[in-house]
Amino acid sequence: MARKAEKGISYYPMNTNFINNKKVKLMVAEFGSTFTWGCLLFLYSKIYDQNGYWLDWLNEDDKLIMAEESKININELNDFVVGCIRRNLFDKEAYDTYGILTSDRIQE
């Protein structure tokens, strides 16, 4: 019996030096360490789980569900995503053009 095809992926690699990334350090300085780590891990998990390499950030219903799942205020989550785009953790052009969260690293 064939295995059911999955839309996303069930595993993603994370570099061990991720915490030393200047962009991430700037996010920690701006949003705090616990909030930054919680949001980043949550968003990366959603990106890889749902579509494999991108996340639709224009779908308001999905954002509300993600805010409820993560126990993060929707406005704070939006502000955090804006910060990630500003720091190039997510690709600005992809966001502006398609409303998605992704990056070159994610798509590798």
Report pLDDT digits (tens) over 53-86: 999 999 998 889 988 988 989 999 999 999 999 9
Place of tokens 């705090």: 32
Model pLDDT, residue 11: 63
pLDDT digits 0-9 by tens, 12-30 = 677 778 889 999 999 999 9
- What b-and-e string marks burial along 58-96, b requiring 16 or more CB atoms within 10 Å of the CB? eeeeebeebbeebebeeeebeebbebbbebebbbeebbe
What pTM was estimated for this model as a whole?
Answer: 0.85
